[in-house]
Structure formats: C-alpha cells, structure tokens
C-alpha cells in the first residue's frame, strides 16, 4: 500500500513514453512510478509533445499519441506545443510555457502543488522555471547527459542552462561526472545533488545460458554457432552511441557476432558500413525491443559494447550488468562510477582497435554472471524513488 500523500509535485517532462514512442524516457516514468508507489509524494506528469505547423512523417504518430492517460500509476497529460524542427531549439521553452500554462494553472487551482519538477534540463528546465515563477513555487531540475553536453555547446543553450540552475531550488545530476561537467559549464557545483538511476530487479537478472542462444537465434532468425562470441549493443542508432566503431572492430573479430538493439537515423549508414567492412552476415539489427525481451538478449551475450561519445549514466549499462553481462565501454559520463571492478568489464578508448582489444579482454576471461550482477546491487527503482522523495523534502 502506498503511503498517505502529503505532498504534490508537478513533473514537466518532454522525455516520457507515449503510444508512438513507448520506450522514450522510460527511466523517467519508472522513477516517478516509484516515487508515487513508495513515498508520500503524489506526482502529476505534464509531458508536452512538440509538433510542427504541418504535421508529417513521424510527427503524425506523435500527434495521435498526444492523449491524456493514466499509466505507471500516474496522471499523465500530453498537451502539444508548436515546434520548428531542427532550427527552433531556442524557442522551445517559451512555446512549452505558452501551451501548458493554462492547464497547469487549472490543475494547481483544483489541487495545489508544492513543487515544480523538470526531468530534463532543456527545454524542460527553463519552462519549469517560468511556470514556477508564475505560480510562486520552488522548482527542481535534473540533468541526464545530452541535455548538458548538447545544449551547453550552444551560446543560447548555455545561457538558459545557467539561468535555470541559478534560479532552481535544487539541481540533480545522474552521476558525479556529469555534475563535474555542469560545474565546468559555470553552475554552482556544491548545489548539484547526485540521483542515480534505478533498475527493475525482478526483470533484469542473470538467466541461465542453457538454450538462450538457440532461443535468440530462433526468435530473430540468427545463426548463432556454439563457439561464437555474442556481442550486444543497446542504444539509439545515432552517431553519439558509436555502433559504427563496434562494426569496424568486428572486422578483426571473425569469431564474433553483433546484435544491435535500437532504432535511429544512423541505421542505413550502419548497414552500409557493415557491407563495406565485410561483416554484414554477422551484424543483426533487432530494432527496438520491449523491456521483457532485453534480459534474454543481454544474458545470452558475452559482452555489452557501447562506445558512447558522451553519456550521463546509461541505463543500458546497469541493465546489462544486472543480467550478468560485462561491459566494454568508453570513458564517458559516469562510466567510472559503474565499472568499479574487473567483474564489471573494461573502459577503453573510442577507437576500433581499442574496442576490439577490450572485447577480447572481456571474452577471454569468463566471469560469473552472479559476480557481474553484484556490481550493481545498489540500483533499484524503489531506492531511486525514495531518494527522489528525500531530495524533494529538502526543497519545500
């Protein structure tokens, strides 16, 4: 039974699952679900969906997904705001405020909030700042990685990030490394608290290898041989995640096969690269997968390889380790806060040769799945939700 609700938070999050993108921002949903289930805080989510003046392509599905619902034990509102794709980034915070402020005022009048929360630093943070100012409430903002590294590299974005951090009652980051980057950007480092991600411990756990590879092979039509090394990369197919580097490394690993889980704009380029490297028969695109499909894929793999250019603290790292699968990752974001022992894997340079050598190092030294999983025993969504509630308590 959930504790009695004595506090209310309005969470503004452009990063949240919807019918068109069921895995988009799933970690935000799971965190707020845990907050709702295990603490005295009652959360309402406003997840603005940006649509261009003329709805076309993928935006058509997003327009259809802009519906209110009750999911994850949460009341979720999905208003739309005007978006100019690719070039309208500086306008987004004000467009969000213009679109959602009447709704927020109505919700606040019906049942007052104690706190406004932004689950992504940009554009959510500046929008939350303006709305909190309008309602006379404190607000909190959380950094996850790309929101700092991408928007902080633009003058108008950096200015907005710094103004938001300065005016926030509290600031969160997903790892110490990201907090250090935020300090280097000009934010007050001592103001930033660390809030690690969670983990569905009932779902992500080591599974018996016996029969798993055959099951994966049959499900996806992949000819997995008994002696092959099975590698998996989980993440959006975008340049920042580095799947192309893994494909190049595969050229020097004739006994390895790669499973790519995710979708993204780079898929066609990655398929072309696999043909050029001569490994097209050993690179398999599995598309987006529901959470229930990931544990068998991860448990069957010898390593999870993700040479990201930048990260906060990737949920894919934690989920792989929880399934007993060691990592081969680059020194991005909170990597050193996750790979804290040899059982967790290795951190390598972001080059095909270093990735190749890292894969060999990990796969040549078998690890007990239970020992690998023990490296992330502190992670759970219940712990995450309770930590978030304790942090919110300090702000009101």
**Cis upstream peptide for 168 (omega within 30°):** no
Report d(CA 345, CA 229) in Å as an integer.
Answer: 15
Phi, psi (5° rounding) for residue 171? Answer: -130, 135
Split at pLDDT 50, 70, 90, the class of 224 is confident
Reported as a pLDDT band with limits 50, 70 and 90, residue 387 is: very high
Examine the pLDDT at 295 and tell me if it is beyond 90.
Answer: yes
Q: Provide the pLDDT confidence category of residue 175 given band limits of 50, 70 and 90.
A: very high
- CATH 3.40.50.2000 domain range(s) in the chain: 7-198+380-393, 212-374
> What is residue 227's predicted lDDT score, i.e. its pLDDT?
85
CATH entry 3.40.50.2000 includes domain 7-198+380-393: yes
- Cα Dmax for the chain: 64
pLDDT of residue 157: 95
- Confidence at residue 307, expressed as pLDDT on a 0 to 100 scale: 97
Average predicted confidence (pLDDT) for the chain: 95
Mean pLDDT for 3-7 is: 95
Kindly tell me the burial class for residue 288, based on how many C-beta atoms sit within 10 Å of its own C-beta (0-12, 13-18, 19 or more).
middle
Do the beta carbons of residue 94 and residue 54 sit within 8 Å?
Answer: no
> Which residues have a Cβ under 8 Å from the Cβ of 276 and sit 6 or more positions away?
none
Determine if the pTM surpasses 0.75: yes
DSSP 107-129: HHHHS--SEEEESSTTTHHHHHH
**What local confidence, expressed as pLDDT, does residue 329 receive?**
98
> What tens digit of pLDDT does each residue of 66-102 get?
999 999 999 999 999 999 988 889 999 999 999 999 9
CA distance 42 to 5: 6
Select from 30, 13, 387, 373 the least CA-distant residue to 199: 30
pLDDT at 226: 82
- Per the CB < 8 A criterion, the answer to whether 337 and 197 are in contact is no
121-160 confidence digits (pLDDT tens): 999 999 999 999 999 999 999 999 989 999 999 999 999 9
pLDDT recorded at residue 343? 96
Give the pLDDT confidence score for residue 126 in this predicted structure. 98
Give pLDDT, residue 85.
Answer: 87
Strands 229-234 and 303-306: parallel
d(CA 137, CA 374): 41
Average pLDDT over residues 299-317: 95
pLDDT of residue 211: 83
Residue 56's pLDDT is what? 87
* Domain 212-374 sits in CATH 3.30.70.140: no
121-124 LR contacts (CB < 8 Å, sep 24+): 121/147, 121/148, 121/151, 121/161, 121/164, 122/92, 122/93, 122/147, 122/151, 122/157, 122/160, 122/161, 122/164, 123/14, 123/89, 123/92, 123/93, 123/96, 124/12, 124/13, 124/14, 124/15, 124/96
- 393, pLDDT greater than 80: yes
Instruction: Taking residues 189-213, report their average pLDDT.
Output: 92
């Amino acid at each position: 039974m959930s504790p009695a609700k004595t506090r209310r938070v309005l969470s503004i999050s452009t990063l949240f699952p919807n019918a068109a993108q069921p895995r988009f921002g799933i970690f935000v949903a799971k965190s707020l679900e845990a907050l709702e289930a295990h603490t005295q805080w009652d959360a309402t989510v406003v997840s603005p969906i940006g649509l261009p003046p003329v709805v076309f392509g993928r935006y058509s599905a997003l327009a259809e997904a802009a519906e209110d619902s009750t999911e994850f034990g949460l009341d979720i509102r999905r208003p739309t705001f005007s978006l100019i794709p690719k070039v309208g980034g500086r306008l987004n915070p004000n467009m969000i405020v213009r679109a959602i402020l009447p709704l927020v005022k109505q919700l606040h009048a019906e049942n007052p909030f104690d706190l406004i929360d932004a689950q992504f630093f940009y554009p959510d943070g500046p929008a939350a700042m303006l709305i909190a100012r309008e309602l006379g409430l404190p607000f909190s903002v959380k950094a996850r990685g790309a929101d700092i590294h991408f928007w902080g590299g633009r003058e108008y974005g950096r200015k907005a990030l710094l103004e938001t951090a300065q005016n926030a009652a509290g600031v969160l980051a997903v790892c110490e490394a990201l907090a250090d980057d935020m300090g280097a950007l000009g934010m007050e480092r001592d103001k930033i608290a660390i809030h690690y991600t969670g983990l569905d411990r009932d779902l992500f756990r080591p599974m018996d290898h016996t029969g798993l590879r055959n099951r994966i092979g049959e499900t996806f039509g992949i000819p997995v041989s008994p002696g092959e090394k099975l590698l998996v990369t989980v993440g959006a197919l975008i340049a920042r995640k580095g799947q192309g580097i893994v494909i190049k490394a595969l050229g020097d690993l004739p006994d390895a096969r790669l499973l790519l889980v995710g979708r993204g704009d780079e898929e066609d380029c990655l398929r072309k690269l696999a043909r050029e490297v001569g490994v097209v028969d050993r690179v398999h695109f599995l598309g987006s997968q529901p959470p229930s499909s990931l544990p068998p894929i991860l448990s069957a793999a010898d390593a999870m390889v993700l040479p990201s250019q930048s990260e906060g603290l990737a949920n894919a790292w934690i989920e792989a380790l929880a399934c007993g699968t060691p990592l081969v990752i680059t020194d991005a974001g909170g990597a050193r806060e996750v790979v804290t022992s040899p059982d967790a894997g290795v951190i390598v340079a972001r080059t095909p040769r270093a990735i190749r050598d890292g894969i060999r190092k990990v796969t040549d030294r078998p690890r007990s799945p239970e020992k690998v999983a023990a490296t992330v025993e502190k992670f759970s969504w219940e712990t995450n939700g309770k930590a978030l509630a304790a942090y919110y308590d300090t702000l009101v």
